[in-house]
Amino acid sequence: MNAARFVAMAVFRESIRDRVFYNLVLFAVLLVGASILIGQLTAGQDVKIIKDLGLSATSLFGLFISIFVGINLVSKEVERRSVYPLFAKPVRRAEFVVGKYAGLLLTLLVNVVVMTVALYTVLFFLARGVPGNIQRAWDAPALDPALLEAIALIYVDLALVTALAVLFSTYSSPMLSAVFTLGLYVVGQFNADLKRFDEIVSSPAAAWIGKACYYVLPDFARFDVKLAVVHGIPVSAGYLAWTTMYAAVYIAALLFGACVIFSRRDFK
Amino acid sequence: MTRAASGVAAAACLAAAVGLHAAQDARVSAPVVDRPDLLYVRSPAAMRRAALGYHGFAADVYWIRALQHFGRERLAPPGHARTYALLYPLLDLTTSLDPYFSIAYRFGAIFLGEPYPGGPGRPDLAVALLQKGLAEQPQKWQYMQDLGFVYYWHMRDWQTAASWFQRASDVPGAPSWLRPLAAVTLAEGGHRSASRTLWQQLAQSEEAWLRDSAGLRLRQLDAMDAIDALESRIARYRDGHPNEPLTWPGLVAARVVPGVPVDSSGVPLVLDPSSGRVTVAPESKLFPLPGQKPDSGS
């Protein structure tokens, strides 16, 4: 697995070289700018709105990185023919795919950690000087540690999106990979509707297909606890554990699939 | 063209554009179009889908739009037809995207029922919004208190108002003053003292806009008390001078009042010369008082 680690570090270095982390500057400007302006516009809801904005931006920026970097991870190497000299070395194809995935995961981790620190810093300055009686009326404290639960699930969600992007990247063009990944992400937001498909169709076969799709397609809505956390509604440790476990198993399936597809490709 | 010359040309063009912009602002005013606000998506169900996993942020956007719409309508110049048409749809979208957005329900409770021109005068929509909030959070005594408030203040249905205050007081953790409020509402429904109790409670809120609104209402109640006292003195004077038209200078000269009375916003009160009735002027911040016709100014 040394080879996978080597590939992962190369991906991380490449993302620095490609200025992927520039999005952090945009994130910081967005948060600081919003925290200055928003107090004038929101009738006392600035902390809630900064939390919503910070969590949404963390998720959205991460999503863009996952998809648009993820879809190029493997296909770009194939297109540039840089995989040929790589496979002349003792690097197995599975190690290459897993390394690529782990490298992007590391990039996303750094990204999410820096965004989290920025969010807590802005919330700290926003809550400073607010009288205690007003703070007590908030649904949750400004520096609520529970925000980390939502952020952790955002990261797990991004890990799953990245795995999808890597899978598609092993056999499809970047353009099609982006469409497939984004499409599955959107469908995954409405998974609950598929489960209740039998309420609107009379055909048992269609209802069965809907239910099957519900279980087979990735359920991205499951990772969204942003609203609950912002309103101080507790998210149980069991929920977090089950959701993370579900994502881990799903990611493993996608990566196994990616390795199988990639190992069958002919590079001669 | 060299790189330096290109840079100078770009800077010169930009400076010219800025200069033209400033000159146009100073000399030619843009046409003023008084067009209503637009809301492209009105269906909460459609918006919930379009927002994907970003419901909280989308709710914040609609919340800010609701505040801006309300503020723009309320502070619009006299020529503008104030409709507040989007206030309910915007609050409905906000609370559909984020069902726990308490302040949006409470904002609707206070301002949807507000009579024209201060609001759209739709207490029925305020009730609908609060009922929606209660369906999401059945133990939220604040929504029950607000329902009681809407029935009391805007719909003048003391019986229903008292029952909501009672229900709110039964919720574990509700403040102790809710039970006496229910009793006062039932016993003195429509009395000014009951209204004062209600607004005094709302004036304790953590929300600045709610405190401001309650403060205004309390000043209106004070003005109504002062007007009652004035009218009773004027009525006594009138009994002795039945055919004399009533004017403030005349009443000051007759020492009925020490000077031309003003309300708490500093605007002189209006006196009807024939009936002797006193009220606040349309330009007063207290206008219209509860029960006062907003279009007549009397």
* Prediction pTM value: 0.78
Does residue B289 surpass a pLDDT of 80? no
Spelled out in words, what is the top-level CATH class assigned to the domain B44-207?
mainly alpha
Closest CB to A52 among B49, B52, B60 = B60
What are the tens digits of pLDDT across the range A51-94?
999 999 999 999 999 998 889 888 888 888 887 787 777 788 88
Is A134 in contact with B107 (Cβ distance < 8 A)?
A: no
B46: contact with A, CB 8 A cutoff: no
pLDDT value for B216: 84
Total domain count for chain A? Answer: 1
Smallest CA-to-CA distance from B184 within B165, B212, B202, B167 is with: B165
Closest by CA to B53, choosing from A141, A52, A237, A69, is A52
Can you tell me the ipTM of this complex?
A: 0.84
B98 touches chain A (CB under 8 A): yes
Report pLDDT for A253.
95
pLDDT, residue B34, reads: 64
The DSSP bridge partners found for residue B225 are none
Position B89 scores a pLDDT of: 93
pLDDT at residue B298 in the model: 42
pLDDT tens digits along B215-259: 888 888 888 889 988 998 898 888 888 878 888 988 888 888 888
In a domain, A268, yes or no: no
**Interfacial A residues in 61-120 facing B (CB < 8 Å):** none
- Contacts for B4-11 with beta carbons within 8 Å, 24 or more apart? none
Cβ distance A44 to B207 less than 8 Å, yes or no, reads yes
Q: Answer whether residue A197 is part of any domain.
A: yes
Return the pLDDT at A260: 92
Per-residue pLDDT of chain A (268 residues; tens, 9 = 90+): 688 888 889 888 888 887 777 877 788 788 878 877 776 777 778 889 999 999 999 999 999 999 988 898 888 888 888 877 877 777 888 899 999 999 999 999 999 999 999 999 999 988 887 888 778 878 889 899 999 999 999 999 999 999 999 999 998 888 999 999 999 999 999 888 888 888 888 888 888 888 888 999 999 999 999 999 999 999 999 999 999 999 999 999 999 999 999 888 877 6
DSSP-assigned states of every residue in chain B = --HHHHHHHHHHHHHHHHHHHHHHHHH-PPPP-------S---HHHHHHHTTT-HHHHHHHHHHHHHHHHHHHHT--TTS----TTHHHHHHHHHHH-TT-HHHHHHHHHHTSSPTTTS---HHHHHHHHHHHHHH-TT-HHHHHHHHHIIIIIS--HHHHHHHHHHHHHSTT--TTHHHHHHHHHHHTT-HHHHHHHHHHHTT-S-HHHHHHHHHHHHHHHHHHHHHHHHHHHHHHHHHSTTSPP-HHHHHHTTSSSS--B-TTSPBPEE-TTT--EE--TTSTTPSPTT--TTT--
pLDDT in tens, B41-68: 888 888 888 888 899 999 999 999 999 8
Q: What residues of A are in contact with residue B53 (Cβ under 8 Å)?
A: 59, 189, 220-221, 223-224, 226
**Rg of the Cα trace of chain A?**
21
Q: Which structural domain range is residue A149 located in? A: 2-263
